Amino acid sequence: MTIVEARADQAAPLVELRGVGRSFGSGRAVTALSGIDLQLPSGDYVAITGPSGAGKSTALNILGLLDRPSTGEYLFDGLPTAALDDRRRSGLRGSGIGFVFQSFHLLPTRTVRENVMLAFTYGGIPRHERSIRARTALERVGLGHRLEAFPATLSGGERQRVAIARAVCTDPRLLLADEPTGNLDRANADAVLALFDDLHADGLTIVVITHDPEVASRARRRVVITDGRLSEIAR
Amino acid sequence: MTARRRHDLRIGPRLSGGAASSRAARFDLRDLAAEVLEGVGARPLRLFVSLLGTVVGIGALVLTVGLGQTAGGQLDAHFDRVAAEHAEITPQKKQGADGEERAAAALPDDSADRVRRLAGVLAAATLTALPTEGLRVSAVPVHDPSEPETTPPPVYASSGELVEAIGAHLVAGRAFDAGHDARGDRVAILGSDAAATLGIRRLEAQPSVFLGDRSYTVIGILGESVTEAHLAGAVVIPTGAARRDFPSVPPDLVALHLDSAAGELVSRQAPIALDPNEPDVFTVAAPSRPTALQNEVGDDLDIVFLAIGLITLLAGGLGIANVTTLSVSERTGEIGLRRALGATRRQIGAQFVLESVVVGALGGVIGVALAVLAIVAVSALRGWTPVLDLPLAFGCAGLGAVVGLTAGAYPAAKAARTEPADALRSS
Q: Express each pLDDT in B55-103 by its tens digit.
A: 888 888 888 888 878 877 777 676 666 677 888 888 888 877 777 777 7
Mean pLDDT of chain B: 82
CA-closest candidate to residue B166, choices B231, B110, B109, B115 = B231
Q: Residue B337 and residue A123: Cβ atoms within 8 Å?
A: no
**Which residues on adjacent β-strands are paired with residue A97?**
A174
Contacts with A176 (C-beta within 8 Å, 6 or more apart), sequence order = A60, A63, A64, A97, A98, A99, A100, A207
**SS3 string of chain A?**
CCEECCCCCCCCEEEEEEEEEEEECCCCCEEEEEEEEEEEECCCEEEEECCCCCCHHHHHHHHCCCCCCCEEEEEECCEECCCCCHHHHHHHHHHHEEEECCCCCCCCCCCHHHHHHHHHHHHCCCHHHHHHHHHHHHHHCCCHHHCCCCHHHCCHHHHHHHHHHHHHCCCCCEEEEECCCCCCCHHHHHHHHHHHHHHHHCCCEEEEECCCHHHHHCCCEEEEEECCEEEEECC
Amino acid at B325: T
Taking a contact as any Cβ pair under 8 Å apart, which residues of chain B between 361 and 380 contact chain A?
none
Number of C-beta neighbours around residue B129 at 10 A: 15
Note the pLDDT of residue B64.
82
Domain boundary assignment for chain A: 3-233
- B68 in Cβ contact with B298 (< 8 Å): yes
pLDDT band at B186 (very low <50, low <70, confident <90, very high): very high
- Helix B44-85, helix B292-330: angle, nearest 10: 170
Judge if B48 and B153 occupy the same domain: no
Count of structural domains, chain B: 2
Q: Which residues of B40-62 are buried (b: 16+ CB within 10 A; e: fewer)?
A: bebbeebbebbbbbbbbbbbbbb
Co-location of B240 and B359 in the same domain: no
pLDDT greater than 80 at residue B177: yes
Specify whether B210 is located in the same domain as B150: yes
Most confident of A103-117, B32-46, B280-294: A103-117
Per-residue pLDDT tens over the stretch B310-322: 887 788 788 788 8
What pLDDT is attached to residue A1? 38
Containing B415, the helix (H) or strand (E) segment is helix B390-417
CB within 8 A of B262, min separation 6: which ones? B119, B120, B121
> Quick one: pLDDT at residue B298?
58
Distance from CA of A234 to the nearest CA of B (A): 30
Q: Which of B243, B277, B311 is the last residue of a domain?
A: B277
Task: Calculate ∠ Cα B40-B43-B45, nearest 5°.
Answer: 115
What residue numbers bound the domain in which B191 lies? Answer: 106-277
Q: What pLDDT does residue A3 have?
A: 39
Q: Does residue B138 sit in the same domain as residue B271?
A: yes
- The residue of chain B with its CA nearest to that of A105 is B337
Q: Is residue B120 domain-shared with residue B268, that is, in the same domain?
A: yes
Q: Is residue A35 a contact partner of residue A19, using CB atoms and an 8 Å limit?
A: yes
Residues of chain A neighbouring B42 (CB-CB closer than 8 A): 109
Name the nearest CA neighbour of B69 among B307, B294, B379: B379
Chain A contacts in chain B segment 27-66 (CB below 8 A):
27, 30-31, 34-35, 38, 42-43
* Range in A172-176, A214-218, B131-135, B183-187 with the lowest mean pLDDT: B131-135
CB neighbour burial string for B238-253, b if at least 16 within 10 angstroms, e if fewer: bbbbbbebbeeeebbb
Residue A215: its pLDDT value, please?
Answer: 92
β-strands A13-24, A30-41 pairing: antiparallel
| Residue B335 confidence (pLDDT) above 60 | yes
Q: What is the pLDDT of residues B204-254, one digit of tens each?
A: 888 989 888 889 999 999 888 767 888 888 999 999 999 888 888 889 999
Rounded CA separation B218/B209 (Å)? 7
Which parts of chain A register pLDDT below 50?
1-10
> For B316, how many CA atoms within 13 A lie in the half-sphere containing its CB?
35
| Angle, helix B292-330 to helix B345-382, in steps of 10 degrees | 140
- Yes or no: say if A138 and A113 are a contact pair by the CB < 8 Å rule: yes
Cα A63 to Cα A225: distance, rounded to the nearest angstrom: 14
**Residues composing chain B:** 427
Q: Which CATH superfamily is domain A3-233 in?
A: P-loop containing nucleotide triphosphate hydrolases (3.40.50.300)
pLDDT band at residue B199 under the 50/70/90 scheme:
confident
Q: Is A142 left (phi over 0), alpha (psi -120 to 50) or beta?
A: left
Residues in chain A within 8 Å Cβ distance of B346: 86-87
B229 occurs within a structural domain = yes
Q: Are residues B206 and B328 in the same domain?
A: no
**The predicted structure's pLDDT at residue B427:** 62
Instruction: Show which of B277, B307, B334 is a domain's final residue.
Output: B277
Chain A residues whose CB is inside 8 A of the B24 CB are 124
Same domain for B306 and B273: no
Q: Last residue of some domain: B249, B277, B305?
A: B277
Residue B83 lies in a domain: no
Are residues B132 and B173 both part of a single domain?
yes
On whether residue B92 sits in a domain, the answer given is: no
Residues 172-211 of B with CB under 8 A from A: none
Q: Which residue of A has its CA nearest to B12?
A: A171
Instruction: Check residues B31 and B21 and name the one with the higher pLDDT.
Output: B31
Give CA separation, B93 vs A29, A145, B68, B72, B281, in Å.
91, 93, 36, 31, 8
Is it the case that residue B111 has pLDDT exceeding 50? Answer: yes
Say what the pLDDT of residue B313 is: 78
**Residue A233 Cα, gap to closest chain B Cα (Å):** 27
Q: Is the pLDDT score of B115 beyond 70?
A: yes
B130: pLDDT strictly greater than 60:
yes
Q: Say what the pLDDT of residue A135 is.
A: 95
